[in-house]
Amino acid sequence: MKKILLILLFFIPTIVEAQTIPYGNNPTAGNYVKVKDGTRIYYETYGTGKPLVLLHGGLYGEISEYENLIPVLSKNFMVIAIATRGHTKSEIGHQPYTYQLMSDDAYTVISQVTKYCITLIGFSDGAVIALDLTLRHPDLVRKLVFAGGNISSASYRPGEMDELKRLSGASLERDMPEFVRERKKLMPEPERWGDFVELLKHAWINQTTVTPEQIKSIKCPVLVAAGDRDRYNPIESFVSIYKLLPTAQLAIIPNSDHIIFYRQPALMETMVTGFIMK
């Protein structure tokens, strides 16, 4: 019996280490906050230390897009990964979406979880939300990673906004059935998939332009990052944002399209951790 017990104990650590953490659908790390209009916003927390907030991309995005970064960041920070309203386990609500509304959601979650200033990482739609959060709550954000975002719908490459406008719940189910099927498994109201897509399109189409004066007013250090062949925005748009910021770094990721955290995970890990740990 002693020999058997010793063998089991020897293999237990290996078994535990092999387990995959279900980021974005992790009951041991997940929780909800009810925001002002009654919508419940889902978030997960990992690690301890100073708070660091993750905001994912829109429509296709979810907490799991940071699956490579969360284990690294949670060694030094309390990571707060927020699911934007309507995405995966967050409720859809009924208001037409705006980036300001989603910024308010994030602020409510952050206020419930921590009273300290935060490091903020946003990708794509999450970057736009993060920028709005930084502008409206400048004392909250100590550092900002602005990855693949924009400051105006006018900066989209020709034709891209028209493509986004043509999207619908039905077209996505037709063209990406597996994605929609998996997403619906996580949604509290999967029958409202079409409603969610239309509400989110409202945010894209009605994006409020951030002025040069507003960008110049940002005092915290900012890392602007984007792929060298970003589908939605040309390199020049990221360079122009970088030039307006008082304290900033610019990273154009080689051989990468819009989804830089997937295309160059090791490079993004090195750059993000180097920036936030200084």
Interval 159-164 mean pLDDT: 92
pLDDT at 3 over 60: no
H/E segment holding residue 180 = helix 177-186
Q: What is the tens place of the pLDDT at every residue in 120-158?
A: 999 999 999 999 999 999 999 999 999 999 999 999 999
| DSSP β-ladder status, 40-46 and 77-82 | antiparallel
Count of positions (residues) in the chain? 278
CB 197 within 8 Å of CB 59: yes
Identify which of 235, 234, 230 has the alpha carbon closest to the alpha carbon of residue 255. Answer: 230
CB 21 within 8 Å of CB 47: no
What confidence tier does 278 reach under pLDDT thresholds 50, 70, 90?
Answer: confident
Interval 184-194 mean pLDDT: 98
Beta bridge partners of 52: 79, 119
Distance of CA 98 to the CA centre of its chain: 15
Q: What is the tens place of the pLDDT at every residue in 166-181?
A: 999 999 999 999 999 9
What confidence tier does 1 reach under pLDDT thresholds 50, 70, 90?
Answer: very low
Identify the pLDDT of residue 86. 98
* Residues ≥6 apart with Cβ < 8 Å to 90: 39, 40, 41, 42, 83, 84
Q: What is the pTM of this model?
A: 0.92
Q: What is the tens place of the pLDDT at every residue in 7-25?
A: 333 333 433 334 599 999 9
Least confident of 33-37, 62-66, 156-160: 156-160
H/E segment holding residue 238 = helix 235-244
**Mean model confidence pLDDT for the chain:** 93
Interval 199-210 mean pLDDT: 96
Report the alpha-carbon angle 129-207-117, nearest 5.
20
